[in-house]
Structure 1
Amino acid sequence: MTEQEGTSVQKHSLSSEREAGIRSSVAAGLPVAVADLSDLVRIPSVSWDGFDASAVAQSAEAVAALFEATGVFDAVSVKRANTETGEAGQPAVLATRTARNGKPTVLLYAHHDVQPPGNDADWNSPPFEPTVRGDRLYGRGAADDKAGVVSHVAAVRALAESYGDDLELGLVVFIEGEEEFGSRSFADFLEQNREALAADVIVVADSDNWNIDTPALTISLRGNVTLKLTVSTLSHASHSGMFGGAAPDAMLATIRLLSTLHTTDGSVAVEGLTSSGEAVPESSDADFIVDAGLLPGVTPIGTGPLLGRLWAKPAITVTGIDAPSVQNASNTLQPQVSVKISARIAPGQDARAAFEALKTHLYANAPFGAHLEISDVDTGQAFLVDTSGWAVAEAKQAMADAWGVDPVETGVGGSIPFIADLVRVFPEAQILVTGVEDPDTRAHSPNESLHLGVFKRAILTEALLLSRLAEKRLTDF
């Protein structure tokens, strides 16, 4: 992954009149897009177990109504598929428009479900009450990924205003309802709707930009392994004064075991987890410290180029722990402790192989003969984009035109595991990973926000891309 210097991309024909019309439509439609996005943010569509599933259903219906109202699609519906265990997944939106006269078909993907808000007290404004402060819109899902949903809606509106009945481009919209919960019915949804979802280009609007002034095309994503680890050492809780110092409690065993996952400098210490070794652009430690929110005196962990640690190396994080709270703590040896482990896997490594390496490490390093149980395992494959295709060239040009600067090709430390399913089912499709986020978005965190300037430029980028593709037949590429 390298920053593009002097990107030279062949600009396919788009008349100045057409481009001006698209720009005008996007600018005029921005207030409506922001209002639509605000309405969606108000719906607490958390797809995780234990949250109100009716809110996700309400969100799906609202999204379907937005696409229906564009008047562009032959059919718009809300559908469900099944998970691997046979349970019904969360509702997704599917909209289709058939291509005519040899034009390409473009699939637009985003997701309407969101992460849990966490502690409301950590938010400066209520998480599900969209609030504009300065040039940013705050709220859970304001960026990840309801802004992706509305950027598709707004781009399609601009396309419809420009072309009217003359639009011959094929369009498919797939707005998933459980991306934040592991896309558990995604594979079945693809199988059930394979014919409807078939496309020449797939735009996944769920990623990041270099900064608020520079667009990015994501060309690599780390994979992931998540699991629940339960550590047991005692058949029952015991008095810490009577037995402490001789009986190994589960908390001590868990702390000792988790400490083996990293070296003293914070690098991953699990044998078998690999790095991709790819080149990365230079970056500033100072910028990273600000973006990540490191406290004064806290330094980055790991070794090697900073972006290499984020894009090309594995990472392991303990994201949750089931143990007594400080408020409820007693002088007791804990018999059992459970933790949630999230590992990010470098591009080029199979996620299942990474899980086996992590599992082997945990069992090999269990202290004091502690009993381990691993459950709730979920894996997702890493992704590398083939940048040689014509769709990548078109996307780069659209970004350059919309933002006024050449785009950057980036890796992302996060994961979008379902892309591997898209590649498997539609191997000939070209996949473009774009997004509306920036380094200050704080996706998944309190005070998540969307930069409204980035939102406008992301909509314009997609509208110009779709318009450019609408001017071409597949035989032209």
Structure 2
Amino acid sequence: MTRAQLLQSLAGYFDGGGFESDLDRRVAWRTESDAGPPGEVLAGYLHEEMVPALARMGFSCEVSANPDPRGGPFLVARRVEDPSLPTVLTYGHGDVVNGQSTQWREGLDPWRLRIEGQRWYGRGTADNKGQHSINLAALEHTLRARGGRLGYNVTWLLEMGEEAGSPGLAEFCTRQREALRANLLIACDGPRVSADRPTLFLGSRGGVNFQLQVKSRDRAYHSGNWGGVLANPAIVLSHALACLVDAKGRLLVEGLRPPPLPDDIRQALHGIQVADGEDDPEIDPAWGEPGLTPIEKLVGWNTLEILAMGSGSPQRPINAIPASATAFCQLRFVVGTPWQDLEKILRAHLDAHGFPMVQIELTFGARATRLPLDNPWVAWALTSMAASAQRPVTLLPNLAGSLPNDVFADGLGLPTLWVPHSYPACAQHAPNEHLLADVAREGLQIMGGLYWDLGEARGLPWH
């Protein structure tokens, strides 16, 4: 079979209902991981759904408990044609965020695949069951097309706790370093830059979640009796937040601003449009760092967001000065930001602006990663993807969101290529999550082309 015939067979698998059947079965698994301790259904998805699919292709599979009790199990599947051949590592996650069943549009059920035109609704269709189902099917068809021999080894890592922050993933990969030894990572998660633009990204922005709190006293006091002589923690915290980010979203903490945008990153992002889909929100052009385009703000810069805040009782306000105020914040950052020093940097900044009473608590952190744009794998992947899609491919130096790519790039020392099969308005993590049919169909062919081209060993930068 030729490469062109492989792409035709993948189109036939999609058009004939094969992909629909596989995804429907996988969506039905209620693999929520962000709603408490991991349940048995997480292991069930691996044992009953993933292991049979991989074993059918000749993988040896092992499901292991998570070293962190907060996280679900891991599956490591290995297909070794010859120990002397190079190895490709791929990654996905079978867990999903909570279903939010009561908030879906009438006629939709998060645990049943429903097709309405281009939109395939169901929890996990976009994140990540649809995406790893595309990879699995593309690999199986490629294996068949090449007569049962790929010309390289494949290791598959599936986790069941990504939506809970990937607890235990780094420790597990450290313990399993030998089993996960590879030359390259090719994985799929996150969205394309837009639905009609095949996309390759090389890492992700990092993220740090932190909480700021002002606790002025143990209880509230009547605002008529004490207003004007007691400091109001909500007002104090509001002014503290305003010294971190200005009224137009510009980050004011000098130590948390990124290095200047490199020329190669600026050139790679030139001309890429943001929010050009019919379901995308209208962006605010004046928001954020001045002098940058919207895509440069998203991909090449740092942003500090307030995710939630509260003081007193908003549901039933009373005439009282509240005892405390809290803001839940997040820094999204690019490579080169001293994020490990965030607490120290924030502390110095707040103190210098007269806010020593603001308490800081870090709750989560993940580093930023970015494969250099001149790495030989980048040009190879872009060429392969464009040949399959028959149109140009958008290169993002890194995803605007965060992924556990640091485990692979830094922990395992791998070049990392990410090929997303979703799009920005997919309602990921929200009610009415969906996958677009034409993106999934094209994704199957793009992945099939990549797996085929990896078997053409000449000229590939394996070392």
Of 158-167 and 148-157, more deviation after overlay is shown by 158-167
Q: Is the 8 A contact 2:221 2:321 kept in 1?
A: yes
After TM superposition, the structure 1 stretch with the greater mean CA deviation from structure 2, 220-229 or 349-358, is 349-358
How do residues 227-246 of structure 1 correspond to structure 2 at under 5 angstroms? Answer: 227-246=210-229
Counterpart of 1:287 in structure 2 is 276
In the alignment, residue 255 of structure 2 is paired with which amino acid? G
- State yes or no: 1:444 paired with 2:452: no
Match of 1:308, as an amino acid?
A: E
1:36 aligned residue: 22
Superposed, 1:95-110 pairs within 5 Å as: 95-100=77-82, 102-110=84-92
Match 2:230 to one of 247, 253, 276: 247
Q: Residue 37 of structure 1 aligns to which amino acid in structure 2?
A: L
- Give the letter for the 1:467 counterpart: W
Q: Does 1:23 align with 2:7?
A: yes
Is 1:310 the counterpart of 2:295? The answer is no
Amino acid of the structure 2 residue aligned with 1:391: W
| Shift in alpha-carbon separation, 1:103–1:392, aligned structure 2, 3 A | farther
Q: What code does the residue aligned with 1:20 have?
A: A
Q: 1:324 to 1:39 in 2, by over 3 A?
A: farther
Q: How does 1:66-465 map to 2 (within 5 A)?
A: 66-73=52-59, 75-83=60-68, 87=69, 89-100=71-82, 102-117=84-99, 120-121=102-103, 123=105, 125-275=108-258, 276-278=260-262, 279=266, 280-284=269-273, 287=276, 292-294=280-282, 300-302=286-288, 303=290, 304-321=292-309, 323=311, 326-365=314-353, 367=355, 370-376=357-363, 378-427=364-413, 429-465=414-450
Q: TM-score, normalised by structure 2?
A: 0.87
Q: Secondary structure at the match of 2:189?
A: strand
Distance of aligned partners of 1:163 and 1:101 in 2 relative to their CA distance in 1, 3 Å threshold: farther
Secondary structure of the residue that 2:141 maps to in structure 1? helix
- Contact kept in structure 1, 2:376 and 2:461, CA below 8 Å: no
- Partners of 1:63 and 1:93 within 8 A in 2: no
Find the residue that maps to 2:190 and give its secondary structure: strand
Structure 2: distance between partners of 1:285 and 1:113: 29
SS at match of 2:148: helix
Instruction: Give CA deviations for 1:203-226 in whole Å, capped at 9, x if unaligned.
Output: 121133233332111135221111
Q: Cα 1:413–1:167, aligned 2, differ >3 Å: closer, same or farther?
A: closer
Gaps of 5+ in 2: none
AA aligned opposite 1:77:
E
Q: Deviations over 1:219-261 (max 9, x none)?
A: 3522111122332111212223322333223333332322322
TM-superposed deviation, 1:172: 0.5
The correspondence for 1:466, drawn from 431, 441, 451, is: 451
Please list the CA deviations of residues 101-146 of structure 1 after superposition, one character each: whole Å capped at 9, or x if unmatched: 8432111111122233458436463333332222021233211222
- TM-score, reference length from structure 1: 0.85
Q: Structure 1: which amino acid aligns with 2:79?
A: R
Equivalents in 1 of 2:248, 2:461: separation in Å?
Answer: 53
Alignment partners' CA distance in 2, 1:163 and 1:245: 79
C-alpha deviations, 1:256-315, integer Å up to 9, x for none?
322322112221112212234131313457738x664239xx655122211111111111
CA RMSD of aligned residues (A): 2.8
Q: Distance in 2 between matches of 1:341 and 1:286?
A: 24
Compared CA separation, residues 476 and 219, structure 1 to 2 (3 A): closer
Please report how far the alpha carbon of residue 49 of structure 1 lies from its aligned counterpart in structure 2 after TM superposition.
4.9
Farther off after superposition, 22-31 or 277-286: 277-286
CA distance in 2, matches of 1:366, 1:54: 50
CA shift for structure 1 position 431:
1.4
Quick one: structure 1 residues 228 and 238, their matched pair in 2 at CA, closer, same or farther if it must change by over 3 Å? same
Aligned mates of 2:100, 2:287 — CA distance in 1: 26
Distance change (3 Å), C-alpha of 1:19 and 1:286: closer
Aligned length: 451
- Displacement of 1:476: 8.2
Residue 112 of structure 1 aligns with an amino acid whose one-letter code is G
- Alpha-carbon spacing, 1:51–1:231, altered in 2? closer, same or farther (3 Å): farther
Amino acid in the other structure paired with 2:103: A
Code of the aligned partner of 1:345: F
Partner SS state of residue 247, structure 1: coil
Identity %: 23
C-alpha separation in 2, matches of 1:445 and 1:204: 23
For residues 101 and 243 of structure 2, the distance between their equivalents in structure 1, rounded to whole angstroms, comes to 30
Q: 2:369, 2:109 → 1: CA distance?
A: 35
Determine if contact 1:239/1:333 at 8 Å carries over to the other structure.
yes
User: Structure 1 residues 148, 355: closer, same or farther in 2, change over 3 A?
Assistant: farther
User: Would the alpha carbon gap of residues 356 and 449 (structure 1) be closer, same or farther in structure 2, given more than 3 Å must change?
Assistant: farther
Q: Residue type matched to 2:81 in 1?
A: A
Letter in 2 for 1:28: G
5+ residue gaps, structure 1: 1-16
